[in-house]
């Protein structure tokens, strides 16, 4: 398992990680969701022992992590954003090499290489040079390198960036399978849908701080139990604010000129709200109604879209 307490990493005046704490249990997929620059990669680099924290503690399987904690590191698998592959070698040779770094050898290594190739769907291309692989195949092999020694803890830093939908689904299935076998997974992403589909629990991270933590359902409750209504039209934020007065079951998620995102509770609440807005001669061009989403939670917490 992983336990992080009051973790901080400063670069001069820049606080890349600013006092975050969380834990992930055995067999759990814990997500760090946030935009580029939020502190996700720095956090993973500290947990993996690649960086030294300014302050705070990281415990992995009950042992303190540091850049010199070699025993702890051997219990972990790390899959970085950039692929760590030898492209002149085959997939089989890459896996053998990385397995050897974890003191694997002989029949056990050969057996494990075959298992991983089957798991990542590359058995039929195992003896082809990696330079002939597609981007999605390289991403799958990159994940396989992190799994070769059957780690107790798996750290994944945006492993699906730039891959096609089919490769993405394959990668997520492999991660779920690892968690089912008891591996603790720490997963960073800036894809909302991916976090919703994959993570048992997650933390929303921005500017080096954790803004909220919980299950997907727990986080969605932060914007209300009901539907999310996005209203677009030729109106100002002030006009919409006045139009919403007297609606106790409507919570403003975000409000600006020409667009309002609202959380509406109660049966039929969205229909009544729209009737009232149109009755006030508010110029509405379009309406979208959907269940609460992680994107709306993020906007509520940060005041900005995740893609900003």
CB of 126 closer than 8 Å to CB of 137: no
> Is the residue at 303 inside a domain?
no
Whether residues 30 and 145 share a domain: the answer is yes
Whether residues 81 and 107 share a domain: the answer is yes
The whole-number pLDDT of residue 140 equals 93
For β-strands 153-157 and 76-79, DSSP reports them as parallel
> Is the residue at 308 inside a domain?
no
For β-strands 63-64 and 55-60, DSSP reports them as antiparallel
Query: Phi, psi at residue 22, to the nearest 5°?
Result: -165, 170
Say how many domains are in the chain.
2
CA gyration radius, the chain = 23
CA distances from 91 to 119, 123, 131, 138, 174 (A): 13, 9, 10, 9, 17
Whether residues 42 and 139 share a domain: the answer is yes
End-to-end CA distance of the chain: 33
Q: What's the whole-model pTM score?
A: 0.79
Q: Quote the CA–CA distance of 270 and 102 in Å, as a whole number.
A: 57
Whether residues 116 and 203 share a domain: the answer is yes
Determine if residue 9 is left, alpha or beta; phi over 0 gives left, psi from -120 to 50 gives alpha, anything else beta. Answer: beta
Q: Quote the CA–CA distance of 49 and 70 in Å, as a whole number.
A: 9
Residue 147 CA to its chain's centroid (Å): 19
Whether residues 97 and 184 share a domain: the answer is yes
Whether residues 154 and 216 share a domain: the answer is yes
Q: Quote the CA–CA distance of 22 and 1 in Å, as a whole number.
A: 11
> Is the residue at 305 inside a domain?
no
What residues make up the domain containing 286?
225-291
For residue 35, give the CATH number of its domain. 3.40.50.300
Whether residues 110 and 213 share a domain: the answer is yes
The whole-number pLDDT of residue 298 equals 77
Whether residues 199 and 251 share a domain: the answer is no
Q: Quote the CA–CA distance of 62 and 89 in Å, as a whole number.
A: 37
Residue 229, judged by CB atoms within 10 A of its CB (0-12, 13-18, 19+), counts as buried
Which residue, of 192, 220, 248, is where some domain finishes?
220
Whether residues 178 and 242 share a domain: the answer is no
Q: Could you tell me the mean pLDDT of each successive run of 10 residues in the chain, 308 residues long? A: 96 95 97 90 94 95 85 91 93 97 95 96 96 94 96 94 86 94 94 89 93 90 74 90 83 85 77 81 85 75 61
Whether residues 210 and 110 share a domain: the answer is yes
């Amino acid at each position: 398992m992983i336990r992080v307490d009051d973790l901080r990493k400063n670069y001069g005046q820049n606080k890349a990680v600013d006092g975050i704490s969380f834990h992930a249990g055995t067999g759990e997929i814990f997500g760090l969701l946030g935009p580029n620059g939020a502190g996700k990669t720095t956090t993973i680099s500290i947990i993996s022992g690649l960086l030294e924290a300014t302050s705070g503690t990281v415990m992995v399987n009950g042992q303190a992590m540091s850049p010199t904690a070699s025993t702890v590191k051997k219990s972990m698998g790390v899959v970085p954003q950039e692929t760590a592959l030898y492209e002149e070698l085959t997939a089989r040779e890459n896996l053998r090499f990385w397995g050897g770094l974890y003191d694997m050898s002989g029949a056990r290594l050969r057996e494990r290489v075959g298992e991983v190739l089957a798991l990542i769907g590359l058995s039929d291309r195992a003896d082809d040079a990696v330079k002939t692989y597609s981007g999605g195949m390289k991403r799958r092999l990159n994940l396989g390198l992190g799994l070769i020694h059957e780690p107790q803890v798996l750290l994944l830093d945006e492993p699906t960036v730039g891959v096609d939908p089919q490769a993405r689904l394959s990668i997520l299935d492999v991660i779920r399978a690892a968690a089912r076998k008891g591996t603790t997974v720490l997963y960073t992403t800036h894809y909302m849908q991916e976090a919703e589909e994959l993570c048992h629990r997650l933390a929303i991270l921005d500017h080096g701080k954790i803004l909220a933590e919980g299950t997907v359902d727990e986080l969605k409750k932060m914007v209300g139990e009901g539907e999310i209504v996005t209203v677009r039209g030729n109106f100002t934020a002030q006009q919409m604010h006045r139009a919403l007065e007297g609606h106790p079951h409507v919570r403003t998620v975000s409000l600006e000129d020409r667009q309002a995102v609202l959380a509406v509770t109660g049966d039929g609440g969205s229909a009544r709200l729209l009737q009232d807005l149109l009755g006030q001669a508010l110029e509405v061009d379009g309406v979208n109604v959907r269940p609460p989403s992680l994107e709306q939670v993020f906007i509520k917490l940060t005041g900005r879209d995740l893609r900003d």
